[in-house]
Amino acid sequence: MRYSKALIPTVKEVPADAEIPSHQLMLRAGIMRKIASGTYAYLPIGWRVLKKVINIVRDEMDKAGAQEILMPAVQPMELWQQTGRNVDYGLTMAHFTDRHGRENVLAPTAEEVVTYIAANEINSYKQMPVNLYQISFKFRDEFRPRFGVLRSREFIMKDSYSFHTDNESLSDTYKVMYDTYCKIFARCGLRYVIVEAESGEMGGSGSHQFTIPCDNGEDVIVYTEDSSYAANIEKAAVDALPVVAKTKNCPAIEEIHTPNQKTITEISAFLKENAQNFIKTLVYKSGADLVLALVRGDFEINPEKLRCAAGGTIELADEAAIKNLTGAEVGFAGPVGLAGKVGKIIIDHSVLTIEAGITGANKTDYHIKNVLPGRDFPIEGNNVIIADVRNAVEGDTYKGKKLLFKCGIEVGQVFKLGTKYSAKLNAKFLDKDSTEKPCVMGCYGIGINRIVASAIETLYDKDGIVWPINIAPFEVIIVPAGAGDEITAAAEKIYADLTAAGVEVLLDDRDARGGVKFKDADLIGIPIRITIGAKSLAENCAEVKLRRESEINKIPMADVKAKILQTIEKLKNE
Ligand code: ATP
Ligand code: MG
């Protein structure tokens, strides 16, 4: 392609509303433009990059035996009502009523639709295992779209869904997909980390996330130094803290007046007591039941762990329910006296380290002190669950090993779904033994746009983007530096030779100074630059430079083509 004819609107200034390098560079390099909050249009070089990623994903999925399909972006709400996920997705799921009064969903994912297809088309064990995938637009009305396409509202996802007769077959395909994801991210030039993950609103029994370690990532990865364990913070387990032997002579409970002191921060400052001495009490709703969750004041409840401990969907109770339960304003709840009034009490291990704790008095503007777990509220019994339900923090260990933390970007996730969707949507098959069973399912997602942004975010330098060659918009940029027929002719010859050899070349034939061209070449990040200037041309040479290196190599004109082909091959196989 000739630069003079291409729409590559580069910009010098850093766009004001772009907070992180990848977002700034995608705008500055003319890759994309914002159309509305969380919605972007890709310009020619941006679309070239996306297509490269899509091609890699498609190639590896096909090699793994998956079959490509295409499902609609507008889905019937009825299917979502059957699985109950219209509720789970909440406001993130955009929907509209059509002219016939039917409710439609803008696909945020496609488990419901693919299971509906399976329900109709798969009847026998002979048709499985089967793995179906699509690469298509998804829409999620994210609460806070940000960081450009890292969290946008509309994005391209590769989503696949596998159907099996049993868990063993699911495990086989899960492993194939896991390995396929490793190949995909490696081919895209990304350094990734695989972590154990919660399956969240997807449901199911097992999940891994593929994460790109990066300071601006929104996910927190928790790992042991020897890498024997790595998990998303939503899932990361911690060893229970040592429980100190309780003194038998903990004084009796005493009421303390704490007007308007509701949060742990407020009350610990007010009483000049360490947050460690508080029993934080939160009221949740799980179906028709109320659930009390207790954690030590210096820790945070982990909603995913709490959901697992509760054995089902769980959400914070509303103000009215809390007032009704405790008889007090929100902020003064405590476990003493509430055991018989709730469905479950879920107590984090950390609470058991407390000897004479402070907690809400279930009376507006009052707390109580000298609260001893086991004496003043039950720590065993039918409705009591002791579990790990808090977030891991600095200083925690897991299986005796110190936990470390870093941020990351989730680019893909694989799930063992089990029969959650097939049971609800009636996707059954006739097994060998002539019994009818629900299909066992797996699902596997990749964020195409996030791969692009992650590659930029982790590889850029002060001059701009540094593309891995496999997803670069062009492999080579030719920069004729300086005017003159000879320079033009030499540049045109290399352009023609390389293009004929199948290389993707951008020829910067603009009528601009060398400096301007070099700046743009660096900004848009083409991996190999060939410069044709008067000086080297006098020696019948071109100058070849890799974007990621500063060294410039003089190559005789006659060898340029062979040298470039060889360099591309080398970069591709790194
Ligand atoms: P997140 O936790 O970041 O919101 P998710 O776990 O909800 O993502 P999945 O349902 O697992 O996402 O979707 C599969 C993939 O789609 C993710 O791994 C991610 O790469 C991509 N993805 C999800 N949401 C977005 C978004 N808002 N913008 C861009 N890519 C996204
Ligand atoms: Mg995910």
pLDDT at 87: 87
pTM of the model: 0.91
Query: Mean pLDDT score of the chain, rounded to an integer?
Result: 95
pLDDT tens digits, residue range 388-400? Answer: 999 999 999 999 9
Q: Is pLDDT at 540 greater than 90 in this prediction?
A: yes
Burial of 563 (0-12, 13-18, 19+ CB in 10 A): middle
Q: In this predicted model, what pLDDT tens digit does every residue of 410-427 receive, in sequence order?
A: 999 999 999 999 999 999
pLDDT exceeds cutoff 70 at 504: yes
Tell me if 310 sits within 8 A of 344, measured CB to CB: yes
Which of these, 104, 204, 212, 225, lies nearest to 161 by C-alpha position? 204
Whether the pLDDT of residue 195 is over 90: the answer is yes
More confident residue, 201 or 284: 284
DSSP readout, 312-333? S--EEPPHHHHHHHHSS-TT--
In this predicted structure, what is the pLDDT of residue 202? Answer: 60
In the chain, % of residues over pLDDT 70: 98
pLDDT at 242: 85
192-195: long-range contacts, CB 8 A cutoff, minimum separation 24:
192/411, 193/221, 193/223, 193/230, 193/408, 194/230, 195/221, 195/222, 195/223, 195/230, 195/231, 195/232, 195/235, 195/408
Position 555 scores a pLDDT of 97
Q: Output phi, psi for 420, to 5 deg.
A: -50, -50
Q: What's the pLDDT band for 574 if we cut at 50, 70, 90?
A: confident
DSSP string, 329-389: -TT---STTTGGGSSEEEEEGGGGG-SSEEEE-SSTTEEEEEE-BTTTB-SSSTTEEEE--
> Can you read off the two tokens belonging to residue 225?
């130094």
The confidence score (pLDDT) of residue 543 equals: 98
What confidence tens digit (pLDDT) does each residue in 119-142 have? 999 999 999 999 999 999 999 999
pLDDT level of residue 198 (50, 70, 90 thresholds): confident
Encoding tokens for residue 131? 């793995």
Average pLDDT for 369-381: 94
**Ligand nearest 157 Cα, by number?**
1
Ligand 1 environment, Cβ below 6 A? 109, 140, 142, 151-152, 155, 157, 410-413, 445, 447, 449-450
* pLDDT recorded at residue 192: 96
Confidence at 483, pLDDT banded by 50, 70, 90? confident
Statement: residue 245 has pLDDT above 90: no
Q: Which atom of ligand 1 is nearest to the CA of 410?
A: 18
Give residue 313's pLDDT: 80
- Residue 410: closest CA among 446, 442, 452, 457: 446
For residue 511 the two structure tokens come to 């009528």
How far apart (Å, rounded) are the C-alpha atoms in residues 485 and 557?
A: 16
Mutational pocket test of ligand 1: of 92, 133, 134, 157, the residue with most ligand atoms within 8 Å of the beta carbon: 157
Determine contact, residues 543/552, Cβ cutoff 8 Å. yes
- Do 246 and 407 form a contact (C-beta atoms < 8 A)? no
Q: How distant, in Å, are the alpha carbons of 251, 275, 375 from that of 246?
A: 12, 19, 11
Q: Whose CA is nearest to atom 24 of ligand 1?
A: 151
Structure confidence at residue 12 as a pLDDT band (50, 70, 90): very high
- Please list, in sequence order, all residues whose beta carbon lies within 8 angstroms of the beta carbon of residue 79, skipping any fewer than 6 positions away: 112, 113, 116, 425
Task: Give the residue from 384, 442, 382 showing the smallest Cα distance to 413.
Answer: 442
Distance CA 554, CA 24 (A): 33
Dist. CA 447 → ligand 1 center (Å): 6
Contact (CB, 8 A) for 398 and 237? yes
